[in-house]
């Protein structure tokens, strides 16, 4: 996979990347080990443990610590943001790891607005406390749903996004 750079920003100030994305399946399952058979099951849509799976746009970037990968590094067309940054161990990066840069609150707010027929940048002139409760309730529901699949994301939602 070639290294991607940001060539410029488009008219909406979103990055334009130098390389096309590579489509990859991103699977999260606390109950699954990363083995070849699990990968085959996930690709076939036959993974039997609780999991989340979605197709992501994968790019390879570099920074001062070395190469890293970014899945869905920009905003989606609907305004949501679900970026994931994956860092391999390098000479200067002593441990591998990842950063889930998803914007949980923004994504829940945009989903609520969409249910009401509002666009992502539309003002919600008639918003009430019930709308606030709906967005916060959706965040709580996401935290509950993630508990079986991704305990770390669930704990992050419950402890930092919507305590």
Query: Is the predicted pLDDT of residue 86 greater than 90, yes or no?
Result: yes
The tally of domains found in the chain comes to 2
Two tokens at 77?
Answer: 């067309």
Residues 10 and 72 in one domain: yes
**Of 100, 120, 137, which closes a domain?**
100
Two tokens at 115?
Answer: 């249910």
Two tokens at 100?
Answer: 């889930």
Query: Is the predicted pLDDT of residue 21 greater than 90, yes or no?
Result: no
pLDDT, one tens digit per residue, over 65-84 is 999 999 999 999 999 999 99
User: Mean pLDDT of all residues in the chain?
Assistant: 94
Whether 1 is covered by a domain: the verdict is no
Give the pLDDT score at 20.
87
Residues 83 and 132 in one domain: no
Residues 135 and 71 in one domain: no
Residues 93 and 116 in one domain: no
pLDDT, one tens digit per residue, over 101-116 is 999 999 999 999 999 9
Taking the CA of residue 115 as centre, how many other CA atoms within 13 Å lie in the half-sphere pointing to its CB? 10
Query: Is the predicted pLDDT of residue 10 greater than 90, yes or no?
Result: yes
Give the pLDDT score at 91.
94
In which band, very low, low, confident or very high, does the pLDDT at 12 lie, cut at 50, 70 and 90? Answer: confident
The torsion defined by the Cα of 59, 85, 88 and 47, in degrees rounded to 10, comes to -90
pTM, two decimal places:
0.86
Give the pLDDT score at 119.
95
For residue 135, what are the domain limits?
A: 104-161
Query: Is the predicted pLDDT of residue 22 greater than 90, yes or no?
Result: no
pLDDT, one tens digit per residue, over 116-152 is 999 999 999 999 999 999 999 999 999 999 999 999 9
Residues 83 and 142 in one domain: no
Residues 15 and 76 in one domain: yes
């Amino acid at each position: 996979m070639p290294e991607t750079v940001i060539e410029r920003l488009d008219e909406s100030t979103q990055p334009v990347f130098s390389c096309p994305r590579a489509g990859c399946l991103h699977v999260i399952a606390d109950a699954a080990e990363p083995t070849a058979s699990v990968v085959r099951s996930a690709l076939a849509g036959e993974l039997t443990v609780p999991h989340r799976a979605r197709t992501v746009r994968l790019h390879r970037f570099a920074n001062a610590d070395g190469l890293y990968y970014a899945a869905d590094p920009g905003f989606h067309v609907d305004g949501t943001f679900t970026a994931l940054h994956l860092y391999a161990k390098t000479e200067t990066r002593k441990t591998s790891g990842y950063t889930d840069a998803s914007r949980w609150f923004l994504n829940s707010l945009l989903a609520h607005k969409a249910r009401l027929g509002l666009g992502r940048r539309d003002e919600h002139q008639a918003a009430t406390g019930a709308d606030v409760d709906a967005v916060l309730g959706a965040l709580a529901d996401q935290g509950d749903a993630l508990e079986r699949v991704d305990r770390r994301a669930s704990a992050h939602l419950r402890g930092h996004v919507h305590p």
